[in-house]
Structure 1
Amino acid sequence: MSTGAYDCLYQTLGSGPPIVKPKFEDVTVTQDIYGNVESTRRTAESLKYKVEKDRYNDIAILIRRRLSSTREALWIQMEIQSPDIQETVTKVCGHSDLLNTKVSPIVIRKPYLILFHYRAELREYDLHSDRTDQEKVHLKVLVDFMAKAFTRDEAEYSRLIDKGQVSFPIVWTLFKPEEEVFIHESHFVRCGRVQSLHGINKTQGWSLGTRSWDYDGTFFGPVDSVSPLQPFEGICDITSLPVYPVRFHKNQNKDDLRQRLIERGRKWKSMVDVTHLSYEGSDDNSVQLQVSSRIITDYATHQQANPHHATAFSWYNASLTKQTKEPPADDGNDDGDDVDDAERQTQALEKEDKEAQKEHDRFFLQRHDSSYIMSDDQALLCPAKIRGFSLMDKKWAFFLVENATDIQWLENPMERLEIDGAPKKS
């Protein structure tokens, strides 16, 4: 029956469209063996959907532990539910990409890396004379939690770090969010920026997430990788770790190594287009080969031939967007001093926003064209290897940038041409 026919039927019966009641109901329908409905009745209470209320949603700070069915620890996280503590954490360390302050509760996974590296600022904020009584009560919960969580680590940190040493239980304290780190791999060193640190406890290994700079044949952009930190016994030098912050590198070599990586990054950028080069060294393939031949660098074709090695960019839109603070609202009752303070605060926030936007733009996708000029920070994070094809072995592989050089063509090649002195017979 058409819609018009239904309208005529309603008019004939003298009734309009049915009235829908604004309520929710749960019913159970029983059918016979032929699929015909036998009965419809309200669902029993024991079978209805239930929304479980969190019994702990009124706690300022909640530590939540997730276990598997075999009682193995999956993760431990801190949930900040107090608005006063949320505001404090947002003001002090909300600019970090590791912290999402736009949600409630604010969640921080163990080992609470962001809190450890901003612990001094958080404690100083708590002691400020402008705090209200309620803020002081709630902030004391945060300060007490940090004291309980970090006391032993801080003592060990103070004892070893100034000496350039570290033990495995505190190795996680070395890595500050967004800090540059040197990553030692076979045959080369590369640089990354700290993005995450995952682990369950201080006796198992850690997974350090870092961000670097790469190319996919069309765009330059940020890529993520993970470096494992395996447990070790006793105490070791920080610079002997497979990954460590640039600030701990030997003073006499730090600037030299950093500058060398920047120069290598610029060399890498000059080679990403199709380039004919000479190469002497090993390739990075499933079976390493010693290569002494000419190679062709070609990112786009390499990725077509090896799609499992294609460059996968980070979620740059979400993870690289800085979270900035909103300026305070004007209630119209401020006196002159308060107005001046508000203006100064607004100017400070605007300056911070500009710096955050500059930081964001620095690590955003860049199209490979003549307008793109690579910065030193981007060059520092570039790969140590270039994608290419070995003309001798007829194989696609990764080649160390430092071992690739321009081809040395012979001067006056015609003068070196030798022809058999015997006359040719026609």
Structure 2
Amino acid sequence: MDFATPQVFANAKDEPDDADPRIGQKLEIKMCEARYNSDSTRIALHAGTKRKAWAPAEVNQESALLVTRYYGRLGELEYTEMEVRSPYIRAALRAVIKEYPGLTFDTGKILIRDELRCIFHYREELRDYGLRLSDQTAAQHLIFFLNYMYNSLTREISSFYTFMESPTAAPGIEHEFLWMAFKPGSFILHSRKGIQRILRFSSMKLDSFSRW
């Protein structure tokens, strides 16, 4: 299935984004940490910055991806957020995924929090999109992005392929990775008391009791 129109591919080659084309051109991941200082202000720091040398991290516009870990007042990790700055990756996400629960791709910034669920669920479509690209720079950015997703979800993906795609066993997966089995927008056959219904899956969230 072709998930991108010819015009989208033209944009990915010539003018991949409506933002400044100089932003996000470098194939690297900039890591930052957002921590509270003595004034109870949370500031972004380059990862590994010592407390005595605290100073706001300079805005780096060249990196394709900016990953920031946000810490609470007691030093606990609250969440991780990735900003997609590469215009080529942004074009791919807008062409392939278009929309995803909790995310929008048609705004100025593309921010993905915690697990890269949307990237995992659309990994095959993004790969197919990349195979169609004639611009090598755009293709390299997409490969870089997908590799980051696979490296970030190594344990989860190993479990998925072991239990969900086993040729000898019925599909199943560990409870904490259940989200991997259900892609938003998929149809699910629901049967109860002899009545069958086809439902469209929307989203799922783990509550404070570790229940979906």
**Alignment TM-score > 0.5, same fold:** yes
Could you say which residue in structure 2 is the equivalent of 1:159?
162
Over the matched positions of the two proteins, sequence identity in percent amounts to 24
Paired residue secondary structure (1:56): coil
Matched-pair contact (CA < 8 Å) for 1:98–1:195 = no
Matched-pair contact (CA < 8 Å) for 1:99–1:108 = yes
Note the 1:136-285 alignment, pairs <5 A: 136-162=139-165, 163-179=170-186, 194-198=201-205, 206-207=206-207, 230=210
Could you say which residue in structure 1 is the equivalent of 2:78?
74
| Aligned AA (1:133) | Q
Aligned length: 149
Distance 2:113 2:203 in 1: 10
Work out which of the residue numbers 42, 55, 59 in structure 2 matches 1:55. 59
Distance 1:197 1:166 in 2: 15
Paired residue secondary structure (2:92): helix
Paired residue secondary structure (1:137): helix
1:134 and 2:137 equivalent? Answer: yes
Alpha-carbon distance change, 197 to 57 in structure 1, aligned in 2, over 3 angstroms:
farther
Matched-pair contact (CA < 8 Å) for 1:60–1:141 = no
Structure 1 gaps of 5+ residues are 1-51, 184-189, 199-205, 208-227, 232-242, 244-426
Distance 1:66 1:53 in 2: 14
Paired residue secondary structure (2:103): coil
Matched-pair contact (CA < 8 Å) for 1:98–1:196 = no
Alpha-carbon distance change, 133 to 153 in structure 1, aligned in 2, over 3 angstroms:
same
Could you say which residue in structure 2 is the equivalent of 1:108?
112
Paired residue secondary structure (1:123): helix
Distance 1:63 1:191 in 2: 39
Work out which of the residue numbers 43, 51, 64 in structure 1 matches 2:68. 64
Deviations 1:124-178 (A, max 9, x none): 22233x3312212322221221221233322211221242322134222123113
Paired residue secondary structure (1:63): strand
Distance 2:92 2:199 in 1: 29
| Aligned AA (2:182) | F
Deviations 1:74-96 (A, max 9, x none): 21122101111000011110143
Distance 2:103 2:162 in 1: 29
Paired residue secondary structure (2:63): coil
Matched-pair contact (CA < 8 Å) for 2:94–2:106 = no
Structure of higher CA gyration radius: 1
1:197 to partner: Cα distance = 4.6
Distance 1:62 1:196 in 2: 26
Distance 2:100 2:154 in 1: 24
Distance 1:192 1:82 in 2: 36
| Aligned AA (1:85) | I
Paired residue secondary structure (1:64): strand
Matched-pair contact (CA < 8 Å) for 2:116–2:149 = no
Matched-pair contact (CA < 8 Å) for 2:150–2:157 = no
Structure 2 gaps of 5+ residues are 1-55, 191-196
Note the 1:368-383 alignment, pairs <5 A: none
| Aligned AA (1:134) | T
Distance 1:122 1:229 in 2: 34
- Taking structure 1 as the reference length, the TM-score comes to 0.31
1:196 to partner: Cα distance = 4.3
Distance 2:182 2:209 in 1: 12
Distance 2:155 2:145 in 1: 17
Paired residue secondary structure (1:60): strand
- The Cα RMSD (Å) is 3.2
Alpha-carbon distance change, 63 to 113 in structure 1, aligned in 2, over 3 angstroms:
same
| Aligned AA (2:97) | C
Matched-pair contact (CA < 8 Å) for 1:84–1:139 = yes
Paired residue secondary structure (2:173): strand
